[in-house]
Structure 1
Amino acid sequence: MPGIEAGGIAVVLVARSAIAAAPRAEMERLAGQVSGLHEIALATYAFTEQGQPALREVVANLRRRPFREIRLVPLLFPMEASFRAWIGRTLARWQLEWDTEGPAIRIGPGPNASERLTDLVSDLVETAGREKPFMPAEHPATTGSVVAAAHRRVLVCQGGPCNEAGAAAIWGHLRNEQEGQSLRTAGSGMMSATTSCLGPCSLAPVVQVWPEGTVYGGVNEAGIDAIIREHLLGDRPVESLAYPANGRKQALRLRE
């Protein structure tokens, strides 16, 4: 109802990723419970990495509606201290890209800050005690796996500086586009993976495309879109984002 939504509070339950229907349904159920709380005009959910709806899309849509504030509630345990930091920096970057005013956005501390966490864990321990004992299968599955014929591999760095620069959101955008555009088989085909530090930390977030070995730095969602369009599908490295492997120190170039 517009009268209730105007000036109200929107809540976004935030998880890392989900590609199957069951976890998405669970998030939907939790959001439905939250929507009944006092002052909550709307409750929904989003994923920071792979999965739909993506956090960027959800926040962008909510900012266009007349909420008083948007509360992001991470459902992660344990939750690393860096999570809130990179979410905050990523939100600031997104808002600069959107270039429009919107409601205040607050980021919650995560489940570890709740005084009721011990009660929740105790309940889960008791519930586990009512489950049937696990028994290994007598005949393990012998089904095979497909070895992809994809020509390219896209690596998204998950080292410390890249994580702090929001690499998880970049990874999620890549995976969602990979699924949406069928990139595993489109063009020369591609597979993607996260990796530990790729080396040029000052260029964070860093993405590398093989077999060319092209290193891309300062990659955001628009950069991923350009890499897909020009490099993966067009067979042309994106020169404006690429950094040559010349063995020399390089600083991140500023983009207009």
Structure 2
Amino acid sequence: MNPSDPIRPPLRRAAILLAKASITGAAVREMEELAQRAQSAMAGRFAAVVHAFSEQGSPSLREALDALAAGDAADEIAIVPLLLPMEPGFRTWITGAVQRWMRDAQAPRRPGVTLCMPPGDTLAVDALVHGLLQSTTVPIDAPAAAPSAGSVIPPQKRRVLVCQGGPCNHAGAALVWGHLRNEQKRLDLRNTGDGMMSARTSCLGPCNLAPVVQVFPEGTWYGGVDEAGIDRIVESHLLRGEPVAELAYPQVPGKQTLR
């Protein structure tokens, strides 16, 4: 090193523990606690350790990257995929998602991003499996008698599906879902007009039109939906039965691009 070179501060690192999906609060808390334990164990080496989900669940990978970049918490962000087996498509999706974030990020300073991959000899995974095989087991009891209580068939005629596959989640589907649920409660959409119910789904298919929403019984496809788009779908399609042509994509042969 040249004595005249300026002294550079040590590299600040952060990590994102990336899981596939979560639809329960308990699973989200489990990820939060895992991130907290990892940060405590890696104190001094990582400035922050957070969690994210590639499909259903919040925060999404994009939201976690945005938060770390906006908070100026790190010069480098390491993504740790929590998936066994490591599907080649998952690694490809992570790479594409990070590249889209790099292209679109609004943060004034963008950290570098790396991907942590399991070692080729998988010794760490082997040790985990061996430890579990030697751990205390929990018996599974015989099943109880089937309950006799019945279930009510929902009378609502409309269903709104909000895709939370990887590309849709990356494009802001969690915000779209949250806004739809808020409007559903505020306007009592379950009991207004034909009535509606909503559900998050895994990948619906038209990934390049993300975020994707589908409304039944018509099966209308909407792409590029944001909170304002949800407002229009609610006001026109759900309350008046008139699909929003500007946001709808027809079911025709051939690929369509996001308008």
Pairing 1:22–2:29 present: no
Pairing 1:249–2:254 present: yes
What is the Cα deviation at residue 232 of structure 1?
3.2
Residue in 2 that maps onto 1:229: 231
Picking from 33, 36, 45, the partner of 2:37 is 33
Residue in 2 that maps onto 1:76: 83
Residue in 1 that maps onto 2:130: 122
Picking from 49, 59, 75, the partner of 2:55 is 49
Summarize the alignment of residues 69-148 of structure 1 with structure 2, pairs less than 5 Å apart: 69-100=76-107, 101-109=109-117, 114-127=122-135, 130-148=136-154
Residue in 1 that maps onto 2:5: none
Summarize the alignment of residues 127-206 of structure 1 with structure 2, pairs less than 5 Å apart: 127=135, 130-155=136-161, 166-167=167-168, 169=170, 173=174, 174-179=176-181, 181-182=183-184, 186=189, 188-192=195-199, 194=201
What is the Cα deviation at residue 76 of structure 1?
1.4
Change (3 A) 1:212 1:147: same
Equivalent-residue separation in structure 1 for 2:35 and 2:120 (angstroms): 19
SS in 1 for 2:15: strand
Picking from 221, 231, 249, the partner of 1:215 is 221
Q: Normalising by structure 2, what TM-score?
A: 0.72
| Aligned residues of 2:169 and 2:211 also touching (Cα < 8 A) | no
Match for 1:31: what amino acid?
A
SS in 2 for 1:122: helix
| Aligned residues of 2:15 and 2:77 also touching (Cα < 8 A) | yes
| Aligned residues of 1:202 and 1:252 also touching (Cα < 8 A) | yes
Change (3 A) 1:88 1:113: farther
| Aligned residues of 1:34 and 1:40 also touching (Cα < 8 A) | no
Structure 2 gap segments, 5+ residues each? 1-8
Aligned residues: 237
97-106 or 64-73: bigger deviation: 97-106
SS in 1 for 2:159: strand
| Aligned residues of 2:56 and 2:200 also touching (Cα < 8 A) | no
SS in 1 for 2:47: strand
What is the Cα deviation at residue 210 of structure 1?
1.7
Aligned-residue Cα RMSD (Å) equals 3.6
Equivalent-residue separation in structure 2 for 1:242 and 1:229 (angstroms): 14
SS in 1 for 2:123: coil
Residue in 2 that maps onto 1:12: 16
Change (3 A) 1:154 1:94: farther
Q: Which protein has the larger Cα radius of gyration, Structure 1 or Structure 2? A: 2
Q: Normalising by structure 1, what TM-score?
A: 0.72
Match for 1:94: what amino acid?
W
| Aligned residues of 1:11 and 1:40 also touching (Cα < 8 A) | yes
Per-residue CA distance 1:123-167 (angstroms, 9 max, x = gap): 11222xx32432223323344444333333234679xxxx6x724
Change (3 A) 1:215 1:39: same
SS in 2 for 1:166: helix
What is the Cα deviation at residue 104 of structure 1?
0.9
What is the Cα deviation at residue 171 of structure 1?
8.9
Change (3 A) 1:32 1:201: closer
